[in-house]
Structure 1
Amino acid sequence: MDDKTRTAAGIAAGLQGLKYDDKRLAEIAAEVEALNDAVRKAATERLTFDDEPAAFASLMEREARQ
């Protein structure tokens, strides 16, 4: 089990009380990585350090509608 899969397992068990088999945990880790990359890319391209924190939530809401 790689670090990302171990992290997914820890979050699932520790924060949500859920347990999955190793195959599903690897899938979840890959899904989370893809979503995280998309969020970081969207934020990097459209937000600056000086933006209000609410701008991030607004950006995510706009992106979710597309």
Structure 2
Amino acid sequence: MRPLDVLQQHLHQRVLVEMKGGRSYRGVLDAFDQHLNLVLSSTEEVGPAPVPARAGQTLVRGDSIVYISP
């Protein structure tokens, strides 16, 4: 199974995206392209803070992603 096929299966579902530099975002996967650029909605920045920071709709550049987890 190809990575794009896996993303297609999780379209419109909540995913966790780990970024280079240690940031993590959790949101609903609304769209993606062949470069793994992602559009997330209802996004929260997840981290060591006790309360996640809300970011709303977010465009994540594919070359900054370490991994994507459903």
TM bracket, shorter-chain basis: under 0.3
Higher helix share: 1
Greater fraction strand: 2
Q: Rg bigger for which structure? A: 1
TM-score, normalised to structure 2, is 0.27
Does 1 or 2 have the higher relative contact order (CA < 8 Å, sep 6+)?
Answer: 2
TM-score between both structures, scaled by the size of structure 1: 0.28
